[in-house]
């Protein structure tokens, strides 16, 4: 072999080996580490930059939260309003609803793309912006923008091509009930985009997740069959009473999440979902747990009896509960003591490192 070809071959094999190692390390982990809103502990949540960073950390799945614009585009954003993560209040004063929030559904994609995106903040009693996680990326520095779901899929598929990977999408339709109240079917729009980009079956690297149990039943009973799709689905569970509303007796009423943690209903859950995503606090006996001695309950075991995977949310090293001495103790409690199959985390590098270390023990 000529010298130049030997060098080219060495470069090729090094690159392939590096890519192979990165993928192999991720794919062979027994626990699924999901990059929650990307590597959102390091870069503003849901930006393409945070997705690229999480991709490079070796995650198997990147999370997308979706909302719809006034002109029916799907955008990647956690809240269905824009004011926690953009300068919308500066650029469009007077466009808030009565509750003071600037709803994504009231703005066109062009208007939303004109906004500057930032690390999240809240307003204090004087109306001053206070960063939600003070140790994270500095608020309103550099330049970030909101992108569409299609742009994110093309970004991930593009990286899969250049990096030789098969990183998947963990897609959440945010507040389908609120979109319905505003005349929009976010789940149908989401499935149509997924189908357009080739994600149609349970073998596709996609989890379709939602907090809206009535909407998941609609997705499984009507939408997916009509579109010839059968994706993996996950029902999210919370103790927050205002997360989901359902239309009952002609009135929008709070959905009662007790239904989703009552083992009597788990057989029905398993008819509609491949997995469950509970708030991790629901797996812990919080009264008796203390650092060095976290006690878990049997919830994961009970979901497992019905063949449901369990992917709790969200582990953050900068928002630890009082009973966890550090983030590793929390990963351990959720993934190994409670026995969850995976976890959402804002710090995917730490999650991957913890699981790899555990598996080598
Ligand atoms: O989807 C899993 C987790 O992200 C749920 O919480 O509020 O961050 O979407 P949230
Ligand atoms: Ca989510």
Which residue's C-alpha comes closest to atom 6 of ligand 1? Answer: 313
Which residue's C-alpha comes closest to atom 2 of ligand 1? Answer: 313
Q: Over the Cα atoms of the chain, what is R_g? A: 21
Ligand 1 site residues (CB inside 6 A) read: 36, 65, 78, 172, 209, 236, 277, 313-314, 344
- Looking at residue 7, what is its pLDDT? 35
Residues 6 or more apart whose Cβ sits within 8 Å of residue 97: 103, 106
- Asked whether the predicted pLDDT for residue 92 surpasses 70, the reply is yes
- Asked whether the predicted pLDDT for residue 6 surpasses 70, the reply is no
172 C-alpha to ligand 2 centroid (Å): 6
Which residue's C-alpha comes closest to atom 3 of ligand 1? Answer: 313
Phi, psi of 62 (to 5 degrees): -110, 135
d(CA 112, CA 83): 11
Q: Mutation test of ligand 1: which of 39, 65, 207 has the most ligand atoms closer than 8 Å to its C-beta?
A: 65
Ligand 1 atom closest to Cα of 65? 9
Q: Mutation test of ligand 1: which of 40, 64, 78 has the most ligand atoms closer than 8 Å to its C-beta?
A: 78
Which residue's C-alpha comes closest to atom 5 of ligand 1? Answer: 313
For residue 319, give the ligand nearest its CA: 1
d(CA 283, CA 64): 24
- Asked whether the predicted pLDDT for residue 250 surpasses 70, the reply is yes
Statement: the pTM of the whole predicted model exceeds 0.75: yes
Average confidence (pLDDT) over 85-108: 98
Q: Residue 148 carries which DSSP code? A: B
Average confidence (pLDDT) over 97-106: 97
Beta bridge partners of 170: 63, 207
d(CA 321, CA 103): 31
Question: What mean pLDDT is reported for the chain?
Answer: 93
pLDDT, tens digit, 9 for 90 and up, residues 179-198: 999 999 999 999 999 999 99
- Looking at residue 316, what is its pLDDT? 98
Ligand 1 atom closest to Cα of 36? 4
- Looking at residue 26, what is its pLDDT? 52
Q: Mutation test of ligand 1: which of 172, 238, 311 has the most ligand atoms closer than 8 Å to its C-beta?
A: 172
- Asked whether the predicted pLDDT for residue 13 surpasses 70, the reply is no
H or E stretch covering 72: none
- Looking at residue 81, what is its pLDDT? 97
Ligand 1 atom closest to Cα of 277? 2
63 C-alpha to ligand 1 centroid (Å): 9
Which of 318-322's residues contact partners 24+ apart within 8 Å by CB, and which partners?
318/41, 318/133, 318/135, 318/136, 319/133, 321/281, 321/284, 321/286, 322/290, 322/291
Residues 6 or more apart whose Cβ sits within 8 Å of residue 321: 281, 284, 286, 330
Q: Classify strands 74-76 and 121-123 as parallel, antiparallel or unpaired.
A: unpaired
pLDDT, tens digit, 9 for 90 and up, residues 223-244: 999 999 999 999 999 999 999 9
Residues 6 or more apart whose Cβ sits within 8 Å of residue 83: 89, 96, 101, 102
> What are the angstrom distances between the C-alpha of 360 and each of 29, 188, 354?
11, 43, 10
- Written as six digits, the tokens of 358 are 């555990």
Average confidence (pLDDT) over 28-42: 96
- Looking at residue 22, what is its pLDDT? 45
pLDDT, tens digit, 9 for 90 and up, residues 262-280: 999 999 999 999 999 999 9
Extract the runs of DSSP E, i.e. beta strands, from the chain: 32-35, 61-68, 74-76, 121-123, 129-131, 168-173, 206-210, 232-237, 245-248, 251-254, 275-278, 309-310, 342-345
- Looking at residue 352, what is its pLDDT? 97
Which residue's C-alpha comes closest to atom 7 of ligand 1? Answer: 78
**Annotated catalytic sites, by residue?**
36, 78
Concatenated DSSP letters of 88-129 = HHHHSTT---TTS--BGGGS-HHHHHTSPB-S-EEE-TTS-E
- Written as six digits, the tokens of 147 are 């992108």
- Contact predicate 283/297, CB 8 Å: yes
Give the whole-number percent of the chain exceeding pLDDT 70. 92
pLDDT, tens digit, 9 for 90 and up, residues 282-332: 999 999 999 999 999 999 999 999 999 999 999 999 999 999 999 999 999
pLDDT, tens digit, 9 for 90 and up, residues 164-177: 999 999 999 999 99
d(CA 284, CA 299): 9
């Amino acid at each position: 072999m000529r010298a130049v070809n030997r060098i080219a071959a060495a470069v090729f094999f090094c690159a392939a080996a590096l890519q192979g190692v990165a993928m192999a390390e991720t794919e062979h982990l027994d626990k699924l580490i999901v990059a929650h809103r990307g590597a959102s502990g390091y870069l503003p949540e849901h930006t393409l930059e945070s997705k690229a960073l999480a991709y490079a950390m070796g995650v198997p799945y990147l999370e997308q939260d979706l909302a719809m614009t006034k002109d029916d585009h799907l955008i990647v954003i956690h809240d269905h309003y824009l004011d926690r993560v953009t300068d919308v209040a500066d650029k469009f004063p007077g466009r808030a609803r009565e509750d003071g929030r600037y709803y994504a559904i009231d703005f066109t994609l062009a208007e939303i793309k004109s906004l500057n995106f930032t690390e999240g903040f809240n307003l204090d009693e004087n109306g001053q912006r206070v960063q939600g996680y003070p140790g994270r990326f500095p608020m309103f520095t550099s330049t970030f923008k909101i992108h569409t779901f299609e742009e994110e899929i093309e970004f991930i598929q593009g990286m899969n091509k250049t990096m030789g990977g098969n990183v998947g999408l963990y897609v959440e339709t945010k507040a389908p009930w609120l979109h319905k109240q505003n005349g929009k079917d976010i789940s149908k729009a989401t499935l149509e985009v997924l189908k357009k980009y080739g994600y149609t079956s349970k073998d596709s690297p996609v989890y379709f997740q939602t907090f809206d149990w009535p909407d998941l039943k609609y997705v499984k009973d009507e939408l997916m069959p009509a579109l010839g799709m059968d994706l993996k689905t996950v029902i999210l569970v919370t103790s927050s009473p205002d997360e989901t509303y359902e239309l009952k007796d002609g009135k929008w009423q709070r959905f009662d999440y007790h239904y989703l943690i009552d083992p009597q209903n788990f057989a029905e859950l398993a008819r509609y979902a491949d997995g469950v995503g509970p708030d991790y606090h629901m797996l812990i006996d919080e009264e008796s747990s203390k650092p060095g001695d976290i006690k878990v309950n049997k919830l994961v075991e009970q979901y497992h009896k019905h063949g449901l995977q369990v992917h709790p949310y969200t582990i953050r090293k900068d928002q630890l509960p009082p009973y966890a001495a550090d983030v590793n103790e929390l990963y351990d409690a959720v993934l190994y003591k409670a026995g969850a199959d995976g976890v959402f985390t804002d710090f995917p590098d730490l999650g991957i490192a913890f699981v790899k270390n555990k598996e080598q023990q």
